[in-house]
Amino acid sequence: MLEHTSLEEHDVYLFHQGNLRYSYQLLGSHLETYDGQSGVRFAVWAPNAVQVSVVGDFNQWDGRENPMTKMNDNGIWHAFIPDLERGTIYKYEILTPHGHLQLKADPYAFSSELRPNTASVVYPLREYKWNDEEWMKKRQATNIYESPMSIYEIHLGSWKYIEPEVFYTYREYADMVIPYVKELGYTHIELLPLTEHPFDRSWGYQATGYFSVTSRYGTPDDFRYFVDQCHQNGLGVILDWVPGHFCKDSHGLRRFDGEPVYEYANPSKAEKTQWGTLTFDFDRNEVQSFLISNAIYWLKEYHLDGLRVDAVASMLYLDFGKEEGAWELNEYGGRENIEAVSFIKRMNEAIFEEAPNVLMMAEESTSWPLVSAPTYIGGLGFNYKWNMGWMNDMLKYMEMDPIHRKYHHNLITFSLMYAYSENFVLPISHDEVVHGKKSLLNKMPGDYWQKFANLRLFLAYMYAHPGKKLLFMGGEFGQFDEWKDLEDLDWELLEYESHASTLSYVKQLHQVYQDLPALWELDHKEEGFFWIDANNFEQSIISFVRNSRSSNDQIVVVCNFTPVVYHDYKIGVPRHGCYQEIFSSDAEDFGGSGQTNGLPLQTTPEPWQGQDQHITMTIPPLAVSFLKRSSSTKEDKS
């Protein structure tokens, strides 16, 4: 029988207090040597179980062979089974208080069988030899708020596959994805959830194995290789993470020992009716240890650079996705889930203590205040929030025929009213190009040329707008069809000039973005932006300035949301001198009409649009121009 040391007893105490941040080291399956014998130590929390056994091929799935021992009255069962090795397949056989036997996968398993099989797999925690020390040191010293951040969101299985439901491995994806994303100039890759899940079409958002990287693409060390290679190539890795709910599959967390353990006992709080899933019991200490440890596990054991936390609003509100009468008020008469709010704050505090300088991004779709503010001033403690309001407004605007855009001008300007209330990411994610919403390119109005021009316009405005950037795969080359999760991307489109030019455009846009500190250095400070003209709704033209810490890096941005060309158009500018058009989305190389400003634009000392100077320029159709002042005299350079 395995004896527990005083340190382990202390860990058990912390686990039940909700304070064990590395509970995966206590629970689960671990290769160990005990009394000179090598084998596997198993431990599982099943407080209501009458008996628990470890079963697998090694004992013909016979629960009488390897019963576990209950450790005092704390609900933790443990056993040491000699001679078991890496790769052992197992489950827990649990006798419930109702007299039923059920087989459950290990909630803390590090690996799982390939679906449709559902057993857990013994896998060592730390055998992989990392080679990303340089990246990890650089990450620690980087000011993430004042650095460029452009995220490529990807679903591995439908980025490229061998054939339907047959995928490449993490290592093979590393060899294909990383050079592609690096060449385009992105700074980060964001992966849709990779925790083990039974159903491909849930895209990973309905998980069963929270500590188990999905076996669809290989082993845990294969995934570590993917992350390692990203880091060695200068790319950060963010993982979508889903602490809000879990699926009801019989081998998973639902009624784990015959009673609600991981989910709320109250059905009105437990049921996520919109998705057919169950909500974690955020008030239960052991569940807090489970979830907080899980977040830390991905950040520490896989060297991930951040987590994008899915569906935060579904955690914050008791009535989320529910009809009237199907939910209950909290103890203060409100609709907020008080325990979830407390958990989120506690989670973020723990994460930033254990893994400083990582990214914790909230997908929070309401106006909950201070999502990306520290907990000590009343915030939820994330450091970024997805700007869903900007996304909804801009896609609604861009889908309009340009002739109607002047009547909805506020949709492109309103976001600046709240742009500095949070640290925002501007997301064009998978959710916006699926379920009949059309691809990003196909949302755009007009003929073939205008669709591509509108796409270039939208992307340039997005990169000029305050906030970090995220674009879902396929958008970078103008995929015409919306995301088809059972197929891979339409790579054959790159044989056509318009799509190849769009890919080249995104690459050039990233180069310009990274080269211009004004487009990212003061993303989260009001002094990083001011309007030149926000009110020209008649022509649907806006102009503004992006600032960096150096006044010499100031960028003037002019956007025209109609297909009309304007010559000799006056734009107010903040300083005298010559302005050079350093980027135009209408350049012929990108498939544009070539209505660019090739010659320097000399200022005229006459006030215009609230500025002391102005320039006269050509405004290209459905396009964005970036202008930068070039010093022409010694006085100018001072």
Q: What is the pLDDT of residue 266?
A: 95
- In this prediction, residues 320-345 reach a mean pLDDT of 95
Within-domain flag for 480: no
Within-domain flag for 176: no
Q: What is the pLDDT of residue 159?
A: 98
Within-domain flag for 437: no
Whether the per-residue pLDDT at 638 is higher than 80: the answer is: no
Q: Dump pLDDT digits (tens) for 448-457.
A: 999 999 999 9
Whether the per-residue pLDDT at 574 is higher than 90: the answer is: yes
Q: What is the pTM of this model?
A: 0.96
Whether the per-residue pLDDT at 106 is higher than 80: the answer is: yes
Within-domain flag for 170: no
- 581 close to 601: Cβ distance less than 8 angstroms: yes
The residue out of 367, 386, 405 marking a domain boundary is 386
- In this prediction, residues 160-178 reach a mean pLDDT of 96
Separation of alpha carbons 392 and 315, rounded Å: 21
Q: Exposed, middle or buried: residue 253 (CB in 10 Å: 0-12, 13-18, 19+)? A: buried
Helix (H) or strand (E) holding 28: strand 28-34
Q: What is the pLDDT of residue 120?
A: 98
pLDDT band at 8 (very low <50, low <70, confident <90, very high): confident
The CATH number of whichever domain residue 244 belongs to comes to: 2.60.40.10
Q: Dump pLDDT digits (tens) for 377-402.
A: 999 999 999 999 999 999 999 999 99
Separation of alpha carbons 157 and 357, rounded Å: 29
pLDDT band at 200 (very low <50, low <70, confident <90, very high): very high
In terms of pLDDT, which residue wins out, 183 or 325?
Answer: 183
- 470 close to 425: Cβ distance less than 8 angstroms: yes
Q: What is the pLDDT of residue 586?
A: 98
Q: What is the pLDDT of residue 260?
A: 98
Q: Dump pLDDT digits (tens) for 550-566.
A: 878 899 999 999 999 99
Q: What is the pLDDT of residue 551?
A: 77
Whether the per-residue pLDDT at 2 is higher than 60: the answer is: no
pLDDT band at 632 (very low <50, low <70, confident <90, very high): low
Separation of alpha carbons 516 and 503, rounded Å: 20
User: Measured between alpha carbons, how far is residue 203 from residues 151, 207, 216, 430, 485 in Å?
Assistant: 19, 9, 12, 10, 8
Residues 6+ apart with CB under 8 A from 392: none
Total of domains in the chain: 2
Within-domain flag for 148: no
Q: What is the pLDDT of residue 61?
A: 98
Separation of alpha carbons 147 and 347, rounded Å: 25
Separation of alpha carbons 268 and 140, rounded Å: 43
pLDDT band at 9 (very low <50, low <70, confident <90, very high): confident
- Beta-carbon neighbour count of residue 450 at 10 Å? 17
Q: Dump pLDDT digits (tens) for 238-247.
A: 999 999 999 9
- In this prediction, residues 12-29 reach a mean pLDDT of 96
Q: What is the pLDDT of residue 631?
A: 67
Within-domain flag for 493: no
- In this prediction, residues 473-501 reach a mean pLDDT of 97
DSSP states along 463-501: HHSSSEEEEETTTTTT-SSPP-TTS---GGGGGSHHHHH
Report residue 486 as tokens: 């059972």
DSSP states along 65-108: TSB-EEETTTTEEEEEEET--TT-EEEEEEE-TTS-EEEE--TT
Q: Which range of residues forms the domain containing residue 576?
A: 526-637
Q: Output the 3-class SS for 313-377.
A: HHHHECCCCCCCCCCCCCCCCCCECHHHHHHHHHHHHHHHHHCCCCEEEECCCCCCCCCCCCHHH
The residue out of 331, 364, 386 marking a domain boundary is 386
C-alpha radius of gyration, the chain, whole number: 27
Percentage, residues of the chain above pLDDT 90: 95
pLDDT band at 633 (very low <50, low <70, confident <90, very high): very low
- Beta-carbon neighbour count of residue 600 at 10 Å? 14
Pick the range with the lowest mean pLDDT from 314-318, 319-323, 387-391, 525-529.
319-323
The CATH number of whichever domain residue 557 belongs to comes to: 2.60.40.1180
pLDDT band at 308 (very low <50, low <70, confident <90, very high): very high
Nearest to 602 by CA among 625, 633, 565: 633
- In this prediction, residues 30-57 reach a mean pLDDT of 96
The residues that are catalytic are 310, 363
Within-domain flag for 267: yes
Whether the per-residue pLDDT at 102 is higher than 80: the answer is: yes
Report residue 319 as tokens: 């009535």
Q: What is the pLDDT of residue 317?
A: 97
The residue out of 346, 368, 386 marking a domain boundary is 386
Within-domain flag for 19: yes
